[in-house]
Amino acid sequence: MYKPITIKDIARALAISPSTVSRALSDSYEINELTKKRILDYAEEHKYKRNPIASSLRHGRSYSIGVVVCEVANSFFSQAINGIESVAYAKGYHVIISQSHDAYEREVMNIQHLANRSVDGLLISMSAETTDFSHIVDLHGRGLPFVFFDRIINEFETHTVTVNNREGARKATQSLIDKGFRHIVHLANAPHLSITAERLEGFKDALRDNQLPYTDSLVRYCHHGGRLQEEIEDAVAYYANLDQKVDAIFVASDRLSMGCIQAYHQLQPVAQHPAIAGFSNSDSLNMLQPDFTCVRQPAFEMGRAATEKLIQLIESRYPVYHFENIVLETEIITH
Amino acid sequence: MYKPITIKDIARALAISPSTVSRALSDSYEINELTKKRILDYAEEHKYKRNPIASSLRHGRSYSIGVVVCEVANSFFSQAINGIESVAYAKGYHVIISQSHDAYEREVMNIQHLANRSVDGLLISMSAETTDFSHIVDLHGRGLPFVFFDRIINEFETHTVTVNNREGARKATQSLIDKGFRHIVHLANAPHLSITAERLEGFKDALRDNQLPYTDSLVRYCHHGGRLQEEIEDAVAYYANLDQKVDAIFVASDRLSMGCIQAYHQLQPVAQHPAIAGFSNSDSLNMLQPDFTCVRQPAFEMGRAATEKLIQLIESRYPVYHFENIVLETEIITH
DNA sequence: CTGAAAGCGCTAACAT
DNA sequence: ATGTTAGCGCTTTCAG
């Protein structure tokens, strides 16, 4: 059907050898300027397109990188993907996106699938449910480069890109305290995620700074990252039953904030909700909750940085022993 | 670095020919059961993975399909993508997603890029800005299969998957009328999109059914599909200046509804907004606007159907002359 | 500066 | 039932 023109076709038409054509197209130096021009003109005119599959086979590389995030319909991740694509395309790589939906099985399946599809490297933000990392450790051990962003693991050394979660969490909590709230709880993500522990520390920092008491009972975890609305509703119900009336919540993520507001909407009018502050890269959330304070992550920049490091790993001719753990700052938006 | 085991390696280890190994792995019938078992066991044990690049080169197909949507951070499209992936993965195809951000240049670039990357076919929902279709017509003419969903074009015959936009629009508008609103306007998408004309017809139908007058001045178009918040603000400002006070708006899309609510938020308290009804697959929108009536499209199902038709086209041994235009029904959710 | 030849990994004719 | 061979399109020695 769709039969594109090949290097051989050009060679035949111009009565030269395929290798010369290849050289012209890859802009080799050892070629006559005139021959090169003839070839390039012909290629242009006949809309020659290099066959990337053949090229990949030859080079043993696919010039594509895999991305695994929990979901794309999420402001943070979609912005990060834009950053990833901007770098990847500029460097001639293709981006293959897949979603884990925060489920362990889907994460394993996707990573396996991408590795089979011979991506040259993987950019991962861990699924909330994952506690067994052997699928990743295994592939990494076999030489596949990985870079983690946002939700990282420490099973082996590699580049990572994160934000200063602890400080972001502290600032968000502090903003609630500044507004006069004293009974502040924390709606947290899955307990084994790297970001969960860090954000919890920031929450504690803020309480401590203000001589407010901390107990573990102030924290509710969502083991599926909010994938089940039920887990959020349980937390909200739990807060409602505390002896102390909760007047503010520090929420660990966008999705949880959304679920949280949704849960309260079913219970009572907006005016009576606790105040909410939390990590969020969504523009619509602060419309929902008029006084919503959010901690913005530089998602686009994180995607960019992670991709740059990954491509460095992929293109490095020598084994890499020195890894960078890039930590960017968050920005807080108060109302 | 990462040197996977090949068919040759297996052949050498078992002292048989590569073709036999290939036959065993592709489950050919003309092979001794015992030999087959030996090979499969060895492959399993050594974690053999077929090299899809070599396989693609050989078959002249990449077993991947390209998807072009305006953006993934959009409930409708992310649900559609889930449907696309469910079918594609099941049939052994990979999915490569790209975003046009409703911009013509990016759409052209992405489609070009995907075609170069030798996808076997393309699943497209048109960008709002696109009025020149030659980049698509050209590739289609050269034999690349296309299936359109949601936002289609009629430059050539092929399979399409849409919803009954006219009826959905009529029902949404009718629901506003049922609530007692009489001065209803329509915030529309880009005028050249297929869905725009259809939804406008439904809007007119509802007005006519209720003996309400229609004039073109009731309709405002967003030429960039709401990509620029400005275009929505202009429309809202225009409504505010009408002689007749607008008491309800029928909005053509999710993104426009969001932008519309956002624009009103800047102007006046929620209680004084006009009522809104519109096409939306987002769960969060009805929280924003308490009485928001939405028309849900079966996005997942649309993705599924489109992918099935595309794979049919790809795998058909003969030129296809009979095309299906699948039209699904919408569901309306009132409050 | 250009050409001939080999090979990336896989598979489908064509033998045997 | 198995082996031999050739080739998908591209690139890279190695020779000239």
> What single letter denotes the amino acid at residue B87?
V
Window B:120-149, CB contacts with A under 8 Å = 142-144
| B53 inside 8 A of chain A by CB | yes
Chunked in runs of 10, what are the mean pLDDT values of chain A (335 residues)? 84 94 88 92 93 92 93 92 93 89 91 84 94 93 94 96 98 96 96 96 98 96 91 93 91 92 78 87 76 93 98 90 97 89
Record: contact A2-B144, CB cut-off 8 A: yes
B17 beta carbon < 7 A from strand D? yes
- Least Cα separation, residue A86 to chain B (angstroms): 12
Q: Which DSSP string do the residues of B36-79 spell out, in sequence order?
A: HHHHHHHHHHTT----HHHHHHHHT--SEEEEEES-SSSHHHHH
CA angle B321, B326, B331 (to 5 degrees): 175
**Lowest-confidence pick of B21-25, B29-33, B130-134:** B29-33
Distance CA A138, CA B123 (A): 35
Do B60-163+299-329 and B165-296 come out as alike in CATH topology? yes
Q: What is the pLDDT of residue B261?
A: 86
Q: Is the pLDDT of residue B290 over 80?
A: no
**Set of chain A residues whose Cβ sits within 8 Å of the Cβ of B89:** 113
Size of interface A-B (CB pairs under 8 A): 89
**What is the spatial distance between Cα B228 and Cα B245, in angstroms, rounded to a whole number?**
25
Q: How far is the CA of B58 from the C1' of C11 (A)?
A: 7
Which of the residue ranges A252-261, B167-176, B178-187, B188-197 would you say has the lowest mean pLDDT? Answer: A252-261
Q: What's residue A2's pLDDT?
A: 61
Does residue B6 surpass a pLDDT of 90? Answer: yes
Residues A60-163+299-329: name the CATH superfamily: Response regulator (3.40.50.2300)
| CA gap A144, B49 in Å, rounded | 14
Q: What is the mean pLDDT of chain B?
A: 92
Beta-carbon contacts of B84 under 8 Å, excluding residues fewer than 6 positions away, are B65, B67, B95, B123, B303, B304, B306, B307
Banded pLDDT at B201 (limits 50, 70, 90): very high
With beta carbons under 8 A apart, name residues in chain A contacting B287: 261-262, 265, 288
Q: Please, are residues A147 and A158 in contact by the beta-carbon 8 Å criterion?
A: yes
Q: What is the dihedral of CA A127, A131, A133, A135, to 10 degrees?
A: -70
Count Cα atoms within 13 angstroms, Cβ side, for A255.
21
A57 contacts on B by Cβ (under 8 Å): 51, 53-54, 57
Estimate in Å the CA B319 to C1' C15 gap, whole number. 33
d(CA A12, CA B46): 43
B56 contacts chain A (CB < 8 A): yes
What's the CA A318/C1' D5 distance, rounded, in angstroms?
A: 38
Q: What is the mean pLDDT of residues B3-21?
A: 92
Taking the whole predicted model, whether its pTM rises above 0.85 is answered as yes
Residue nearest to nucleotide C4 (CA to C1'): A17
Inter-CA distances, A127 with A99, A297, B65, B185, B255, Å? 9, 18, 25, 44, 28
Q: Report the pLDDT averaged over residues B42-67.
A: 92
Verify if strand D has an atom below 7 Å from the CB of A16: no
Question: Which CATH architecture group holds B7-49?
Answer: Orthogonal Bundle (1.10)
**Contact flag A52-B116 (C-beta cutoff 8 Å):** yes
The answer to whether residue B12 neighbours chain A at the CB level (below 8 Å) is no
Asked if the model's pLDDT at residue B1 lies above 60, the reply is: no
**Which bases of strand C sit closer than 7 A to a protein CB?**
1-13
Residue from A234, A169, A161, A239 nearest A197 by CA: A169
Please give the Cα distance from A140 to A319 (Å, whole number).
13
* Chain-chain contact of B73 with A71 (C-beta, under 8 angstroms): no
Q: Determine the residue among B2, B61, B85 to mutate to test chain A binding: the one whose Cβ has the most chain A Cβ atoms within 10 Å.
A: B2
A11 touches strand D (CB under 7 A): no
Mean pLDDT, rounded, for B241-261: 91
Q: Answer whether A75 touches B (CB < 8 Å).
A: yes
Minimum mean pLDDT range among A143-147, A297-301, B265-269, B318-322: B265-269
Question: What pLDDT sits at residue B115?
Answer: 85
Q: Give how far B139 is from chain A: nearest CA, Å.
A: 9
Chain B residues close to A4, C-beta within 8 Å: 142
Chain A residue numbers touching B52 (CB-CB < 8 A): 116-118
Biggest alpha carbon distance in chain B?
88
The closest CB to that of A52, out of B54, B118, B144, belongs to B118
Answer for the pair A155, A218: CB distance below 8 angstroms, yes or no. Answer: no
Of all nucleotides, the one whose C1′ comes closest to residue B39's CA is D2
The pLDDT confidence band at residue B271, using thresholds 50, 70 and 90, is low
B182 in A contact zone (CB under 8 Å): no
Distances (CA, A) of A324 to A130, A327, B68: 24, 9, 35
CATH of domain A165-296: 3.40.50.2300
| Neighbour tally for A49: CB within 10 Å | 15
Write the CB contacts of A64 (distance below 8 Å, at least 6 apart in sequence).
A93, A94, A95, A96, A117, A119, A120
In chain A, residues 88-107 whose CB comes closer than 8 Å to chain B: 89, 94, 96-97, 99
Partner-chain contact A117 B52, CB within 8 Å = yes
Could you tell me the distance in Å between the CA of residue A55 and the C1' of nucleotide D11? 8
Among A48, A72, A94, most B C-beta atoms within 10 A, so best to mutate, is A72
CA of B120 to C1' of D14 (A): 37
In chain A, domain spans? 7-49, 60-163+299-329, 165-296
What is the reported pLDDT for A270? 63
Report the DSSP pairing between strands A121-124 and B248-251: unpaired
* Residue located via tokens 């909200």: A236
Nearest Cα residue to A100 out of A190, A168, A210, A163? A190
Q: Token pair 């959304």 is at which residue?
A: A258
For the CA atoms of B42, B44, B46, B48, what is the dihedral angle to 10 degrees?
A: 110
